[in-house]
Amino acid sequence: EAQVTQNPRYLITVTGKKLTVTCSQNMNHEYMSWYRQDPGLGLRQIYYSMNVEVTDKGDVPEGYKVSRKEKRNFPLILESPSPNQTSLYFCASTKSGQGGEQYFGPGTRLTVT
Amino acid sequence: AQSVTQLDSQVPVFEEAPVELRCNYSSSVSVYLFWYVQYPNQGLQLLLKYLSGSTLVKGINGFEAEFNKSQTSFHLRKPSVHISDTAEYFCAVSPNDYKLSFGAGTTVTVRA
């Protein structure tokens, strides 16, 4: 089954404790992205990747890091999480030439206390 | 840069009534247009998309949208809603394959 998977689905952590949210897709898509969803703001793009070792900032990159060492994986790293990063996070992948149609993962709900 | 405005944050509607969700966008370049739906406690699912061609686009679950270039709008419609259409709906635009800008969302609540 074609899908985007994220782990963990739920995470509660404390300020300053480094964490990684994993994302994997099995569709051989070139592009992958991370978004955060906040009430009243919709989804905002954090980072995106156009292929292995090629990443770029989205609209809200501060406080986040990403890497793309393999085509299928695109982890999101919070090196020193803060309470304002409490949010619902989505990973997505896109096939080249599809006009940006994104396939979304199930989401990761992160709470930073 | 692109921006998306969804003109209604909440739309209550009775079952079997029609619904229209309004979306306006601004962009200095041509864009692709999307509507996504998010059911409670779930991820996002594509409803429909406009890449080119006919300005009336049909999607899943009986939804359709019309692209109006002169008004920079992409309104979503359904002639008769069901309880199961209760969800949050997002309009989005993209100038390429990897950059997507979303509106703030419209919550549709269908009542019996």
Provide the chain A residues 60-89 that lie in CB contact (below 8 A) with chain B. Answer: none
- Which one, of A113, B104, A24, B49, lies nearest residue A34 by Cα? A24
User: A55 burial class (0-12, 13-18, 19+ CB within 10 angstroms)?
Assistant: buried
**CB contacts, 8 Å: A42 with chain B:** 4, 6, 90, 102-105
Tokens at residue B65, please?
């949208």
Question: What confidence tens digit (pLDDT) does each residue in A10-41 have?
Answer: 999 999 999 999 999 999 999 999 999 999 99
CA dihedral (A57, A44, B4, B64) in degrees, to 10, reads: 120
**CB contacts, 8 Å: A45 with chain B:** 99-101
Q: Which chain A residue has its CA at the smallest distance from B47's CA?
A: A101
Chain centroid offset of residue B86 CA: 14
| pLDDT band at residue B96 under the 50/70/90 scheme | confident
Burial B81-91 (b: 16+ CB within 10 A, else e): beeebbbbbbb
Task: Give residue B107's region: left, alpha or beta (phi > 0; psi -120 to 50).
Answer: beta
| pLDDT band at residue B49 under the 50/70/90 scheme | very high
Contact A53, A74 (CB under 8 A): no
**CB contacts, 8 Å: B96 with chain A:** 100
Question: What confidence tens digit (pLDDT) does each residue in A56-92 have?
Answer: 999 999 999 999 999 999 999 999 999 999 999 999 9
B26/B24 Cα distance (integer angstroms): 7
**CB contacts, 8 Å: B36 with chain A:** 104
B16/B14 Cα distance (integer angstroms): 6
Residue B111 has pLDDT above 90, yes or no: yes
Q: What's the helix, strand, coil split of chain A in %, to 5?
A: 5, 50, 45
- Interface contact A45-B101, CB threshold 8 A: yes
The verdict on A10 touching B (C-beta cutoff 8 Å) is: no
State the smallest CA–CA distance between residue B37 and chain A in angstroms.
Answer: 11
Contact A43, A35 (CB under 8 A): yes
State the smallest CA–CA distance between residue A16 and chain B in angstroms.
Answer: 28
The verdict on B106 touching A (C-beta cutoff 8 Å) is: no
